[in-house]
Structure 1
Amino acid sequence: MAGHIIRRFREKDAEGLAKLLNESEEGWPGGLTGGIPYTAERAKEWIERSRCFAPLVAELDGEIVGICTVTEHFWEKDAAYVEFLNVHPNHRGKGIGKALLLASIEETMKIGRKRLDLHTWGGNLLAVPLYKKTGFFWVPKTNVYMQNYIPAILSHPLSSKFFEKHDLLHPKWYKHFARELTQREDDFREKGMKVFPYEFEVKGEKLRVLVDREARELVGIEAPELGVECWVEEQEAPAGISQEIRWKVKNKGDEEIRCALFIQPDPEIKIVKPPKNSFRVPPHMEVEIKAIFEPDVMAEEKPEDERSNKISSNLIIEGLLIPLTVGVRIKQPVRVTIDPFPFSCWPGTDASLTINLRSFIKKKAEVTLLLSHPNEIWVEAEKECEITPLGFSGLHARVKIPEDLKTGAYPLILQASVRVDGREVITRPKKFHIRVIEPSGIIVAAEGDERKLVGENAITRVMFNLRRSGTMTIIDKASGMTLAQTLSEGIGPPFWPSEFDIKPFDAKVEQVPSGYKITLSSSSERYRGLTLLKEIVIYGGSPLIRVRYGFINNLGQERRFKLQSRNWVQFWRSIYNIPIRGKFIRFPAIEGDFPYWERDLPKDPIEFQERWVCFEFPQEEVSLGVLWDEVEENEFGGGRANFIFDVKLKPFSITWLKPFYFYAGPGGWRRVREIWREI
């Protein structure tokens, strides 16, 4: 029997791909087909819509026995992503999956990306050793999110010399990659740094490369003739507190080497004492260079799943440029938050508030709370405490609201004066609000961070993530239950990966009759002159939320495309209520079974008797309704509540699409139907 061949997908492979997917059904959670067998046409359409730059197939004796699709990364421009990988059940364990992954690494390098990522699921841990042997590391504290830095290592000026010397260009390195193949997270630390270590050995010579997990760049290389590395004292770096950064150069040769060092920190990092710009390293000796840096106390803390701030450096050793990058995860020396968050109350409230403190300093510190608020409200708080190294503490406060105070967001600005080793650092101000809400009132204001916008009335709370994607979380205030994560978008087809999933959004808040209008906007990089708009209206005393999309077209030509609005409902404990034409479906959601998104419910709006769906949560006595009118396609099932719109834009125009609605409040499907008929 001839060996398998890895190559790009061709249109004539569609029938063989459909057969592969249909016969792989049982190996996937929830199946692959959704109960609808793939046809050649559907398989071809799936490849076309996936936006993959490398659709790879494995062919064995004329049959398609494996598929791997590599797409743009969903967040980072210098990385690629394995969107889908599957090998026919009868041909697993024959090296086909390995061959597809190695080919995907090659495709990643061809387009100049430094990294290749993938996800798998907890039930697929048997595949984790395969991924690790091909260079993937399991990112700690994730649901099996894996990163592969082989493209960066093979292209780095220093490490690439090792592979060229031993003729180990891709994929020959694979046989010489030393790795412990465990089924657990890869939580490696060296000098206190979070790293992924890569080790290769051939003919008694070794190469060791360290990847900084925070910067997602190479930070150290130990080659046979030369070793270089960079590290910081504390990777979780308290703002306003100086610390050292160090570089070490190890000369393993017989002659002295001349070195130059140039560094470029992110704007949020100040170099207090720069390093030597030039130095020499004698034969068989090592030299350590130091500098002192200090993170800016006004720097914003980045989410843990984003790249950290960094200090980039270029070592030039005998004319060879060696870039190294170290990550600096900037933290406030003491983080200040409030509990409950956000703090909402009625006029006349007399309530307690806890001000939580978390230290990121490895020494005991004295903390004084700095607090300001308007005269309309009364706040009295404890002011002083000691906090242990990397410890937690709390200060109690009391809030009193006058009976006649009107609905409003009253600022509560908190800072901490932190004293350690005779030095004082005052933290970045955090602006919270005492949110006073009358029965028919409504408030929209940022909380703690200008990129976290929170709107609420007496019934429902919505929280907007402006830092990334402009999504809206819908929360029932009475039960505290998160009902839905909504308003992710893609332009296509294909709709994913979408640039808007990672882009920040601006927000404009306006008061309108009976409520507030929030308009989110973000300009496209992929489509020149195009801006996406999301308009959300929330009403005082009402559980109804109105949503509509719009576009600004700044080009002198017409545009036509489709927009997918992706919304995820917390539905596993819900009862589905769906008015399909000719029947009414009322049935408990069954995880992984009903309703399955491609099998159980129609996508054509015409198939709905009335255009609404209601998810009832009997235990919490709350319902989430989704109500719409004019869409090209609707998709419900598996927690999805998605819409596809046909978009036509005139030159130099602003165009708004038809609205849809969310209902988040008491009452069941009859109440949702009643509202749909009214609007």
Structure 2
Amino acid sequence: MKTLEQVKIVEYHDGYAQAVAKMWNESSENWGGDDSVSTAQDIIDTEAKSTNLHLFLAVIGDEVVGYCGLSEYREDEGALYIPLINVHPDYQGLKIGKRLLLTALDKTVELGWPRLDLFTWPGNTKAVPLYKKCGFFWEERDDATHLMNFMPTVLQIEWLRPFFEKHNWYTTSQRVIKIKPDGFKAQDHTVYEYKWEAGDEYVHIQFERTGRRIRRIETQDLTVEMNLPHFKLLENEPHYASYRIINKTASPFQVSISGSSSVVVKHEVEETFEVLDTWSGEFPVQLEMPEVEPNPWKTHPVIGVDLTINQSVLPLRMGVFPIQPGKLHLRSLNKNWRVPHKGKLHLDLESQLDTDSTWIVKLPINKMIQWEEPQVQAQVDAKGRLSIPISGELRKHGFLDEKVEVKVQREDGRTSSFQTRLALAFPGPGAKFGGETEEYWYGYNGPYYVKIEKRNNAVKIGSLRAKEDPLTIMTPKLGKPFNDELSKTAATSVEHIELQEAFVLKTTLESHVFSSVILNTYYKIYGDGLVEITHELINHGLEEKSNLAFLQPIIIPLKGMAMPMKDGVIIGNEADIPFIGTIHSGDLSERWLFTSSASGDTAGLAWQEDAVGKRDDWRFGVMYSIGTLEAGKLQSLGPIQIGINTVPGWRQWRELAAGNETKNLEELPLYGLKVESDGFASEKGEKVDVAFRSRLSSYLQGRLTVHSGEDTFEKEIRKEEASTKITYPLTYHTAGLKTLTGQFRSPGRKADLLALHVVKGTEPVEVSNEEDIWTVDNGTIAFRASSSYYPGVYSVKYKGRETLHHCYPEAGPKAWWNPWGGGIRYAMPNVSPYSMLKEQTSIEAVTKQDQYGHEWTGICLKTAFTEHEEMKGVVLYQYALTLPEIPVAVFYAEIHQGANRTFAGENLSLEAFFKPAEDLKSCYASQPNSGLFHTYYAGIEEYELNDTPFVQIGSDDRKEKATLIHPNARQTAGAYINQEVFLVESVQDWAATSGERTQVEPTVLFFGEETYDKLNHPFHGILFK
């Protein structure tokens, strides 16, 4: 039987990593059904990068059943923070959560911090009552569910210590718990109240929300409180703070009161007096506007005093929001301003006065906007808003940032003025500039931008033309141990640097934890959406810094993700990968990631060899292990590359990030059904394993059903089996291209499965030559070529019936071509068919091995260019190969470059002319299509079909179809159909230095009766030696 007495609270060390991983893996129901899986190493890596000061675990025997982190709050000063708390679902109800929270609270008091914060979600109805019972108040905000606990402050007040030493604060609390935001209004301040009662003794304490401090204390012995007239107070005008003391004892209080002043608040109070029963007083307050307007994430400026009563200090403070008579905002609805362009802007006026007023705004003279009218005058209601359209002409792109003087006349005739700024970006094609508003720093290059939030140094990188949200670059962390100090560190300087090729936004932050260390960060924005982030660490001190590490957290969306792993590139095309935690990021084989959305937006991430990219809790992180940074030395890190719509696909991003010298990688689905054999093919009679697997860390659960044509397999798998793969044995007794179909049904999803598998026969492939007709016959398909006819394969027959369109024995004019030979061939765009026929072509039988060791048999057509001026010295090898008794042929080409020159950026096209029936009008192409039509008939009208991974060719006269799979490395592919021809084409690029031999990826042609709207085939990434 599980009891609370069995629970021990301990601090984490790596010896608990396996048990912590087990707890998280069994806690998915606590987190919306998240089924990501952690390993012991994941936990060790995560905690090594964690900013936790302490990590408390609830342990029963060898089981970890609860988890509670404690770190410094990164959004505000003066608070610790619980970033994550969890109780194993099987152990809830044992008050483990309470034990963990109270342990964290005790540690906060021990460390001398005044407050403990956490975040949750509004629907967390199980935990919110517990949080409140443990002293947390739910702050009413639209942007977050934020809770604050002021018990550390309460327990550190000397006057109250006797009560809490005598009485348990948890059990004597009289607070009413409701599952809604807390607080009541005192004037227009929000106030939270604790109440404890024990017999005749009691303590009531009120905290003001924005100042995060005490405004009222009441016990059986005294009452002290303060009040302000309003939360928002005008700058440079007289205000008064009022205070009251009630003495409920028989002895007088000896009191001193001392005001608290700051850069923003002037509140000079110094008095000493005696209080027999009641005292009250008002003292003047004057405010200056802060550099940055207060925001709900941070403690506001405070007004208050320290009351010393009988030598015990009782601090009273209330938050305040300094204001000017009004606010001005310049806004534009037009995202595409051009130079010169006349258009409307909107000047939004917001009065903060209690009376109606007349405003006169003199628009600033500047180099960017020519105002149609230089001045705006308007009547504004008390506390009202007014939007005034103003006309202007844009003279140049850039950042408008100008001071503006506003004169205000109130109803009673009083006049005043205030100064503010008008700030607005006017980006445009090729325009490079930077600027700042009250909340952000900006850098632009055309539509691409970097936006840095001043309050926490978080960065957004995006494009004005993108539909997707910008990429978030979180505040970096210095370690070890890592901490969040830089999120609360104001930049000491920000520079805008315009280069010929890019625009640079540079920030400088100073570390206090690692004294004398300065961090410079350069955001280099190129005009194509590429942003390079370079970090510089400088040790300005006299002593070296050892064991230094640097972590850059990045929030990258994983929809449409491409992630390079050891066996290929995982393509995230499912709905269940919202977090990096579901990916084995430790298995990354290359230094890049790429995502694409349904809207067409793309984002790429890449890092250099001096960094490691992997999971950082729920984010992705790029980490540098620096080691020792000597005194006076600088260490440059990076760059990290971000690409916003820089390239359309992962292959181009990989090429940009890693260079051209990369091996071919096949695409891998997150979930897949395939036969696990030596490569993609097995032998007839060979026993193989059919596997359904997940490439995510989450375990499979559900029922798998697979039909193989010769067998049906069913298996149920439970999550407790901790497996990402289901396998079963299968033996094929006949050769051919086998189709596997089936279904996987989990508790929340259903998938239809399809896979192809190659089973090789035992009869050898025959290659013959009779009167210059070379024939390759594998018992299922046969294809032919003739060097005297045309340099390509002119005939492919399946079950004795022709599939290609040709005019053997003599090439002639056809449609746009002259001469035209049809069939399948590789063509160079700068070599016409007429020129091609001038060159000598020879044919020979060949056997080639793929990377898996399978032997393919067929022919090679060799064309040595001796006549063509540009291509003289180049040799083109065209291969057509097949396997025994398989209705599959592959076509690829090699180019031997002996022209004593360099070829770069060249194209090589595969042309395939089809005619699977006597009547061209009955022949069709069918392919995946986002439009309404998916099948197009030849011989009738002219069509151009878009690039798709594959195309199926068939006719109304026969059941069997040909499926042509385009190479992954293609530049483009498509089909062209008119009244005379039915052409399918793909284009690949090639480059070679003199003497080099280069190869293009194969195109695969196979036959069968199935129709595919998507295709899971085994031919990805075939390469030949």
Give TM-score, length-normalised by structure 2: 0.59
1:485 pairs with one of 469, 472, 477: 472
Counterpart of 2:607? 628
Counterpart of 1:416? 406
Counterpart residue type for residue 543 of structure 1: G
| Cα-to-partner distance string for 1:348-386 (whole Å, 9 max, x where unaligned) | 110111011222333333322132122664113561222
Q: How does 1:180-259 map to 2 (within 5 A)?
A: 180-259=176-255
| Cα-to-partner distance string for 1:530-575 (whole Å, 9 max, x where unaligned) | 1122111123x33221111111023443634322211223x37x42
CA distance in 2, matches of 1:408, 1:48: 44
Counterpart residue type for residue 583 of structure 2: D
Q: Contact 2:581–2:617 (CA<8 Å) still a contact in 1?
A: no
CA distance in 1, matches of 2:464, 2:203: 56
CA distance in 2, matches of 1:641, 1:55: 21
Residue 580 (structure 2) pairs with residue 597 (structure 1):
yes
Counterpart residue type for residue 93 of structure 1: G
Q: How does 1:96-107 map to 2 (within 5 A)?
A: 96-107=96-107
Counterpart of 1:672? 653
Structure 1 window deviating more from structure 2 (651-660 vs 668-677): it is 668-677
Counterpart of 2:393? 400
| Cα-to-partner distance string for 1:499-518 (whole Å, 9 max, x where unaligned) | 11221222122222222222
SS of structure 1 residue aligned to 2:585? coil
Q: How does 1:9-20 map to 2 (within 5 A)?
A: 9=11, 11=13, 13-14=16-17, 16-20=19-23
CA distance in 2, matches of 1:47, 1:547: 26
SS of structure 2 residue aligned to 1:163? helix
Q: Check 1:625–1:371 CA distance in 2 against 1; reply closer, same or farther (3 A cut).
A: same
| Cα-to-partner distance string for 1:565-614 (whole Å, 9 max, x where unaligned) | 11223x37x42233444433333363xx2164234243355x13xx4333
Counterpart of 1:532? 519
Counterpart of 1:547? 533
Q: Check 1:135–1:568 CA distance in 2 against 1; reply closer, same or farther (3 A cut).
A: same
Counterpart of 1:66? 66
Counterpart of 1:8? 10
Residue 584 (structure 2) pairs with residue 588 (structure 1):
no
CA distance in 1, matches of 2:328, 2:655: 45
CA distance in 2, matches of 1:254, 1:671: 84
Q: Contact 2:66–2:96 (CA<8 Å) still a contact in 1?
A: yes
CA displacement at 1:473 relative to structure 2: 1.2
| Unmatched segments (≥5 aa) in structure 1 | none
CA distance in 1, matches of 2:334, 2:467: 12
Structure 1 window deviating more from structure 2 (17-26 vs 321-330): it is 17-26
CA displacement at 1:637 relative to structure 2: 10
Q: Check 1:181–1:602 CA distance in 2 against 1; reply closer, same or farther (3 A cut).
A: same
Q: Contact 1:594–1:637 (CA<8 Å) still a contact in 2?
A: no
CA distance in 2, matches of 1:76, 1:375: 39
Counterpart residue type for residue 330 of structure 1: P
CA distance in 1, matches of 2:50, 2:464: 38
CA distance in 1, matches of 2:190, 2:480: 39
Q: Contact 1:595–1:601 (CA<8 Å) still a contact in 2?
A: no
Structure 1 window deviating more from structure 2 (638-647 vs 525-534): it is 638-647
CA distance in 2, matches of 1:655, 1:672: 27
Counterpart of 2:309? 317
| Unmatched segments (≥5 aa) in structure 2 | 661-1025
CA distance in 1, matches of 2:362, 2:289: 16
CA distance in 2, matches of 1:281, 1:559: 57
Q: Check 1:5–1:48 CA distance in 2 against 1; reply closer, same or farther (3 A cut).
A: farther
Counterpart of 2:444? 456
Q: Check 1:635–1:122 CA distance in 2 against 1; reply closer, same or farther (3 A cut).
A: farther
CA distance in 1, matches of 2:418, 2:261: 21
Residue 506 (structure 2) pairs with residue 523 (structure 1):
no
CA displacement at 1:470 relative to structure 2: 2.8
Q: How does 1:150-189 map to 2 (within 5 A)?
A: 150-164=151-165, 167-168=166-167, 172-189=168-185
Counterpart of 2:147? 146
Counterpart of 2:24? 21
CA displacement at 1:316 relative to structure 2: 2.3
SS of structure 2 residue aligned to 1:105? helix
Q: Contact 1:547–1:659 (CA<8 Å) still a contact in 2?
A: yes
Q: Check 1:256–1:46 CA distance in 2 against 1; reply closer, same or farther (3 A cut).
A: same
Structure 1 window deviating more from structure 2 (580-589 vs 202-211): it is 580-589
1:346 pairs with one of 310, 334, 338: 338
CA displacement at 1:199 relative to structure 2: 0.6
CA displacement at 1:493 relative to structure 2: 4.9
Counterpart residue type for residue 30 of structure 2: G
Q: Contact 1:487–1:565 (CA<8 Å) still a contact in 2?
A: yes
Counterpart of 2:489? 503
| Cα-to-partner distance string for 1:68-91 (whole Å, 9 max, x where unaligned) | 222222244532222332223222
Q: Contact 1:634–1:642 (CA<8 Å) still a contact in 2?
A: yes
2:295 pairs with one of 292, 296, 303: 303
| Cα-to-partner distance string for 1:473-498 (whole Å, 9 max, x where unaligned) | 12321246532111521223554x42
Higher-Rg member (1/2):
2
CA displacement at 1:456 relative to structure 2: 1.4
CA displacement at 1:303 relative to structure 2: 2.2
Q: Check 1:434–1:48 CA distance in 2 against 1; reply closer, same or farther (3 A cut).
A: closer
Quote the sequence identity (%): 21
Counterpart residue type for residue 202 of structure 2: K
| Cα-to-partner distance string for 1:275-325 (whole Å, 9 max, x where unaligned) | 672444443xx3321123232146531222111011231112333322111
Q: Check 1:397–1:134 CA distance in 2 against 1; reply closer, same or farther (3 A cut).
A: same
CA displacement at 1:63 relative to structure 2: 4.7
CA distance in 2, matches of 1:265, 1:631: 48
SS of structure 2 residue aligned to 1:548? strand
Residue 660 (structure 2) pairs with residue 660 (structure 1):
no
Q: Check 1:444–1:301 CA distance in 2 against 1; reply closer, same or farther (3 A cut).
A: same
Residue 115 (structure 2) pairs with residue 127 (structure 1):
no
Residue 385 (structure 2) pairs with residue 383 (structure 1):
no
Structure 1 window deviating more from structure 2 (639-648 vs 174-183): it is 639-648
Counterpart of 1:440? 430
Q: RMSD across aligned C-alpha pairs, in angstroms?
A: 3.0
How many residues of Structure 1 are paired with residues of Structure 2 in the alignment? 650
